[in-house]
Amino acid sequence: MTNALRHVESASGPAGAMAERLRAEAAIEPDAVATGEVTKETQIIAIYGKGGIGKSFTLANLSYMMASQGKRVLLIGCDPKSDTTSLLFGGKACPTIIQTSSAKKAAGEEVDISDVCFKRDGVFAMELGGPEVGRGCGGRGIIHGFELLEKLGFHEWGFDYVLLDFLGDVVCGGFGLPIARDMCQKVIVVGSNDLQSLYVANNVCSAVEYFRKLGGNVGVAGMVVNKDDGTGEAAAFAQSVGIPILSAIPADEDIRKKSANYQIVGQPGGRWAPLFEELALNVAEAPPRHPTPLSQDGLLGLFSSEETGRDYTLLPASQEDMRGKPVPVRPSLEVVYDDA
């Protein structure tokens, strides 16, 4: 305790003591600004994609490979389904932050990091979770989850990579939090050679560009093509919007079976190790870019008209169509004045 702070204890009256304490604290010089070389910086990367496209599969194997390469990795599931970590933990569901927070609050207790964060072979992982169906807003749950993470010391944690798994086909502001508030350095989209997943990827690119015009700094680092059947639509999309393909994971029966049995395929020395080693390198080094989102017609143009029906011409409906019978002509109520 400094001499100034000791003096406070002898000050007469609580008000005088408080004033003296504030003056003493204000007189303490702050620590000098660090001037040495920066030795560590956490990359926070948000991964978006259509529900069911394989984000959880991609992230479980990517994070496992990164940890195997000696990196400190934190995987955070931000999907209300809370299934991001299921593959990593052999199918077991871990307690979510939102559920744990509610239970602890009801019991008058504080949430501890050991209640919500679990680890496997160097990967640390947790699930934000979400409200039960019909009982709340999933996006608000995301916001609440990150507020709790900050209280648990999120900004002081020492990780090389923090990977955030976000549902991309929901336009709620809570799911766009990392982009809107510059909470991550870059975004990666997961898609496949199908229109719906590329529609979602295009929406994410649009969101990135929208917030960039408002002063945001987040960019899109690239795309992971999952279940690649070689038809090329995802690669054409990436080229059109101006982002690279970070990896193309084939639609292979071996991958499907192992993933269905909650097995990690991205293990060093395994058949698929080179694929995820390359993905880990590309994710780490790919710089954020400013994409050029496609229009609806541009997106449909990536597919043949037989697949999308884009050669259809819109036919306007009439009142007769809507009523299913002729519409009687009614006198106008407009007041018409004769020329003066």
Strand order in the sheet with 245-250: 118-120, 123-127, 73-77, 161-167, 43-49, 186-191, 219-228, 245-250
Q: Rounded to a whole number, what is the largest CA-CA distance in the chain?
A: 97
Query: Token pair for residue 293?
Result: 């989102």
CA distance 185 to 164: 11
Q: Where is average pLDDT lowest: 171-180, 205-214, 220-229? A: 171-180
Q: Where is average pLDDT lowest: 2-11, 52-61, 130-139, 164-173? A: 2-11
Cβ atoms of 218 and 184 within 8 Å: the answer is: yes
Find the mean pLDDT for residues 281-295.
95
* Residue 14 half-sphere exposure toward CB, CA atoms < 13 A: 0
> Which is higher by pLDDT, 214 or 174?
214
pLDDT for position 314 = 78
Residue 278, helix vs strand vs coil: helix
Q: Please give the distance of CA 291 from its chain centroid, rounded to a whole number.
A: 17
The DSSP output letter for 314 is -
pLDDT at residue 301 is higher than 70? yes
Tokens 């620590």 identify what position?
31
CA distance 47 to 44: 10
| 223 confidence band (pLDDT: 50, 70, 90) | very high
pLDDT at residue 309 is higher than 50? yes
| 5 confidence band (pLDDT: 50, 70, 90) | very low
Report field, pTM of the whole predicted structure over 0.85: no
Structural domains of the chain, ranges and CATH numbers in brackets: 43-190+251-290 (3.40.50.300)
Written as one letter, the residue type at 69 is Q
CA distance 222 to 229: 19
Going through 19-111 in order, the beta strands assigned E by DSSP cover: 43-49, 73-77
| 170 confidence band (pLDDT: 50, 70, 90) | low
CA distance 284 to 222: 11
What is the share, in percent, of the chain residues with pLDDT greater than 90? Answer: 53
Question: Which residue in 131, 194, 123, 193 sits closest to 160, CA to CA?
Answer: 123
Mean pLDDT of the chain: 84
Task: For residue range 153-165, list pLDDT tens digits in order.
Answer: 988 999 999 999 9
Q: Where is average pLDDT lowest: 72-76, 94-98, 138-142? A: 138-142
Residue 19, CA distances (Å) to 4, 10, 29, 222 in order: 12, 12, 18, 55
